[in-house]
Structure 1
Amino acid sequence: MTVGGIATQTSRSHHISWTLPAPARENVIPFACLMFFTFVLFISPQSFFPVLEPLRPAQMSAGIAALAYVLGCLVHRRPLTIVTPEVQLVSGFTLLALISIPLSRSPGGSFEYFLAPFLKSIIIFFLIANLLATLPRLKVLIAFLVLSGVIYSTTVLYNLATGHTMVSRSEAERAWGYPSPLALNPDDLGLILNVILSLTVGLYFGTRKRAVKVLLLAVMGLTVVGIVVTFSRAAFLALAVTLSMLLVRWVRTRGPLALLSAFVLVIAGVIVGAVLAPAGYVDRLYSLVDWNRDRVGSIQQRSLMLQVASTSILENPLIGAGLGMEGLVYAEHGLGSDWATHSIFLMVGSDLGIPGLLVYSLLFVQMLRGLRQTRRRLEAIPQAGEVVAIALGLELAVWSYLFTAAFLPVAYDYTGYYLAGTAAAVRALGARLVAARTP
């Protein structure tokens, strides 16, 4: 039999079938619409063909996906959603966001923010959690994200080579990213490329085909270069964490004798990186410890943001300023109302108070815990090797996201909810595989 696209032996025969199970044939239309939404979100065809803009293809596809999914559940009398810790925490987080609206410093503003972008991200989370019910669907989504990463990395390198850069009064030129909401700004591009790099690692460990492995290695190399040329300090920290975790895993797998090889690899990597790094990159990284080297003053500005946000949380620990209303907090301190807290955790705490911050933090704790538990439970099932590898890549992606987004105002953007939804789907798939394995 097969469970979620994974072959398992049946009790009647030792033959292993790779035929997709019946659930994989369900929700075909919602899944297709979800993938179309993902295509529009990541590739942004309306940026190249403005005639598509009035059609709002992203909203249309997401709406059709949600409607078709709900109707399918009602017709076939299926539960509307799987129940995992991630789903429960996102539901609780949404409830807290709703409660904050009438208590907000600007109820109308919070209500508008709830409808867009907050609710859109929540809907996509639930669609991903419930529609990625099989291994093939997981691989389709992740493979598309990896392909998007290739396009993003190629674009930023092209922009750097052709001088399509953003220039400020005092900062060295930084290349623009790809014309997508997720990748235009270099810092946002560094975030999404780190996430995609980790997902690519998962695909690499999950395949046995040598040609595919070589191709994925080339993709990883291109993605690393793309991350570097964003000149994003947060992205570099996330990259360093990802590579360190992979190195630790390699040493554990190979044994103590691999320590010397690991040390040589680190030294060689540092030397090669210093030689090949773009002009001004090392100096920009050094500004993390020496703020005087930060010619723009962005570190000082973000430090001030963090102070204001922390003070706001302490002054309003229970309800915060209201969903999406952190700008009013900065305005009250004589700063610009368009300022945004460059930290997902302080951003949520400033908006929703300590309760919202706790629920939001627990979401990532449960994502990491669930992915690790899934890997450990499935390691004894040889046919589940690809799911184990995807769970590993997703775990690395969550860590990459945390180390980058801890310095970015992206608490309600799609990227985090794509990860959360996929983590919930992997947890549910892993539970079904374990249940099918149990006599």
Structure 2
Amino acid sequence: MNDKLNSEAIIWKSEYNINNFKIDREHQKLFTLAREAMNISKLKDDEKVKSKLKDIITNLFNYTATHFANEQKYMEEIEYPELPNHKILHKNMLNMLTTLISELNKMELQEIEKMLFNFIEEYFTRHIVLEDKKIQLWNTSLEDLKRNFGWKEIYSVGNPSIDAEHKQLFDIAQEAFTEVEPSQRNIKIKEVLTSLYNYMKTHFKHEEKFMQEINYPKFEEHKVLHHNIIERINELETQIIFDDDNLPVYHGDIGEILKNSKIYFDSFADNHSFLTTGRYSRPKPMLYSEVMSHLNYTGIYNPFTAEANLNVNAPRHSIPFVALHEISHQRGIAGEREANFIAFLASVESNDSYFMYSGYVSALNYIVNAVYNEDKDMYFELTKLFSANLRAVYRANAEYWQNYQTVVSDIGEINNDIFLKSTGQSEGTKSYGLVVDLIASYVKLKKA
């Protein structure tokens, strides 16, 4: 783990304020405690480090629990509509710290540091930057939102050209706040979306070129991962029925898939304390699945009804994975990378060959895309290992979505990208594919 990166990630910035003095002071204190944990890792004596880390983790737990209680009281006072979901996130974070404290004496120092850093970076910093900022938005007037909307330095990716293009995107989006007659409102929104679409087509090309210029640090590891997952897919194909088109067939209808997705996720959650358990609805088929295909959406989690909704017109093999992805959001996993990883784990540990196949095929798709971006020759060499069934699955998937590649699907993609970036996921829609590192770690552990 990059200490410099983590140190920068836990420096308090004024942009993190939610305009409540008490809560903001507590957030600053949490950042101070997190920095103390980072500094402890520089000590040389393993036993000293363990002892001090245990103290700081205990302090973090105690202060975090107090802070959560105060923050939840504040959310009740302002009638924050997402309070139930926010409480779930708080519970997950405390569970993770509890697990770390209870297992600390059994763990090696590197394991402790890795888990602590993961908590600080993934569950702590992102929670404050992403989830807690939503509280401020809820309690802010539309006029103040208009006044404060715009580019901020925390959005910087460290590349002047890309940052300049991002600033231009904010300027275009700002036009949506322009006052117009009610009858002209839809026309204005369409104009803004069209401008965003036209500009982002060029911007995406520049951004992807920039990403290719950055050497991907775990490329060789991903090639090994690719081989391992293809082997597992080939094994699963011997346990699944395929139709005349070489596509996998489930033993039940779409309703059975949705029902089982909840059953399998509940079982998975029972064995992983960071996930919430309880009475949750199963995923629901979307009435407007055809429209969702046009927008390039496979599923949507509705935070207001706490329901996972699926595009059931999508290729059937992908639905188990997508269902588990949306359930992950329902159970408090906000990030797309994390939701993809939880969906992968829940599917491959379900003991249902079809669900396992869906998980591995979806994971492989993210991995081959990562390989393609780095080495196209290696990509084509690796795809030669695909079975006839796997080729048919990918071909059917590509043909299905190719039918919906229109300006509408591009706008849908842009809207989703903007939404994800607005919620603190700076990679936007690319965050879906960042799951590769997590899957690589999982496969490596299973092989060990």
Shorter-chain TM-score above 0.5:
no
Per the normalisation by structure 1, the TM-score is: 0.30
The normalised TM-score by structure 2 is 0.29
Bigger relative contact order (CA 8 A; separation at least 6): 1
